[in-house]
């Protein structure tokens, strides 16, 4: 074979490669699948964010802690806290483990336990831990504090979280006072959340005394029942209206 012959062979191979390449490019362009405007199926537990066209998780309504903590099961909460203890020391004078020492954590400024190296995500705020914030954080740590190094999936059950918070509250030299139950008309979620941070500073007149357990506070328990229906979604719009 002379060199002319070789050139023809090389040309044929190169031509084939280019041909395959072009066919693939065209194929991709023709068969590219556009995003459907509407999803073909609906995932339960997520609501459609109409503006962004994305699915957003449903925002949980924070309970009225004056109502739920007064009747919480502290002993059951202590049992739940076993799940935290592999990483947290809950006792007085406790040490930092994988997570920071937790004595008095409710009412304590966030990310301020001496000697513990927090993530920058946790350090982004030093607001004190309120009942409401802890309630959200324990449900899904990585959602409330994106980037937290607390690798804990979270506790879905609202009752378990409430009992746990009731127990953690007692693990303190000066437990944050349980707020007075919200009166029916003011039981909207915004007011419940807004009232929470003030607990530590100035307990409301009707607040349960610091050391009182649920059964020592019949006065708080009674109005709690009366306030309960306000948490039902049906009455929520009514409660919101006078707030304007
Ligand atoms: C796998 C280990 C682990 C488990 C289990 C765990 N935590 Fe944590 N926790 C951490 C770490 C690590 C941090 C520090 C997070 C950061 O800096 O982002 C933390 C931080 C916290 C903080 C913030 C403390 C502060 O000083 O601001 C709270 C509150 C908390 N955890 C509560 C809990 C509760 C309640 C439970 C049990 C339901 C729990 N954690 C279970 C590892 C854990």
Tell me the domain boundaries of the chain.
Answer: 63-228
Rounded to an integer, what distance in angstroms lies between the CA atom of residue 107 and that of residue 105? 6
What is the model's pLDDT at position 29? 75
- Taking the CB of residue 104, how many other CB atoms lie within 10 A of it? 19
Cβ–ligand 1 contact at 83 (below 6 Å): yes
Distance 87 CA to ligand 1 centre (A): 7
Rounded to an integer, what distance in angstroms lies between the CA atom of residue 132 and that of residue 34? 42
Distance 148 CA to ligand 1 centre (A): 9
Q: DSSP character for 48? A: E
The tokens for 57 are 């998780």
What is the model's pLDDT at position 23? 85
What is the model's pLDDT at position 87? 97
Cβ–ligand 1 contact at 128 (below 6 Å): no
Please list the pLDDT of the chain residue by residue as tens digits (244 residues).
678 888 888 889 889 888 988 888 877 777 766 666 666 666 666 555 555 545 555 677 899 999 999 999 999 999 999 999 999 999 999 999 999 999 999 999 999 999 999 999 999 999 999 999 999 999 999 999 999 999 999 999 999 999 999 999 999 999 999 999 988 765 555 554 454 444 444 444 444 444 444 444 444 444 444 444 444 444 444 444 444 4
Taking the CA atoms of 44, 49, 54 and 58 in sequence, report the sign of the dihedral they define.
Answer: negative
Beta-carbon contacts of residue 4 (< 8 Å; ≥ 6 apart): none
The tokens for 163 are 């009992």
Taking the whole predicted model, whether its pTM rises above 0.85 is answered as no
- The three-state secondary structure class of 55 is strand
Atom 6 in ligand 1: residue holding the nearest Cα: 84
Q: How far is CA 126 from CA 109, 120, 150, in A?
A: 5, 11, 17
**Element (H or E) spanning 142, and its range?**
helix 141-144
Rounded to an integer, what distance in angstroms lies between the CA atom of residue 65 and that of residue 70? 8
Q: Report yes or no: 174 and 88 within 8 Å, Cβ to Cβ.
A: no
Distance 201 CA to ligand 1 centre (A): 24
What is the model's pLDDT at position 203? 47
Cβ–ligand 1 contact at 84 (below 6 Å): yes
What is the model's pLDDT at position 232? 46
What is the model's pLDDT at position 217? 44
Taking the CA atoms of 87, 91, 96 and 97 in sequence, report the sign of the dihedral they define.
Answer: negative
For domain 63-228, give the CATH number.
1.10.760.10
Rounded to an integer, what distance in angstroms lies between the CA atom of residue 19 and that of residue 181? 76
Q: Which atom of ligand 1 is nearest to the CA of 145?
A: 18
- The three-state secondary structure class of 132 is helix
Q: Report yes or no: 87 and 98 within 8 Å, Cβ to Cβ.
A: yes
What is the model's pLDDT at position 31? 72
Q: Report yes or no: 132 and 62 within 8 Å, Cβ to Cβ.
A: yes
Distance 150 CA to ligand 1 centre (A): 5
């Amino acid at each position: 074979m002379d060199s002319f012959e070789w050139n023809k062979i090389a040309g044929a191979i190169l031509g084939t490669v280019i041909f395959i390449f072009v066919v693939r490019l065209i194929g991709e362009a023709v068969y590219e699948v556009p995003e459907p405007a509407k999803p073909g199926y609906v995932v339960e537990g997520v609501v459609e964010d109409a503006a962004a066209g994305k699915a957003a998780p449903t925002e949980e309504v924070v309970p009225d802690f004056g109502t739920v903590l007064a009747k919480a099961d502290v002993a059951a909460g202590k049992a739940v806290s076993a799940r935290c203890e592999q990483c947290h020391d809950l006792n007085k004078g406790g040490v930092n483990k994988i997570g920071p020492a937790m004595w008095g954590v409710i009412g304590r400024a966030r990310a301020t336990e001496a000697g513990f190296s927090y993530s920058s995500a946790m350090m982004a705020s030093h607001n004190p831990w309120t009942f409401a914030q802890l309630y959200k954080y324990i449900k899904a740590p990585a959602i409330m504090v994106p980037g937290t190094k607390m690798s804990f999936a979270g506790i879905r059950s609202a009752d378990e979280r409430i009992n746990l918070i009731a127990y953690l509250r007692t693990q303190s030299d000066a437990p944050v006072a349980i707020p007075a139950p919200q009166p029916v008309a003011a039981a909207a979620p915004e007011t419940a959340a807004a009232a929470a941070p003030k607990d530590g500073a100035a307990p409301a007149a009707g607040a349960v005394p610091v050391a009182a357990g649920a059964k020592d506070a019949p006065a708080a328990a009674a109005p709690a029942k009366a306030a309960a229906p306000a948490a039902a979604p049906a009455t929520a719009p009514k409660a919101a209206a006078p707030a304007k």
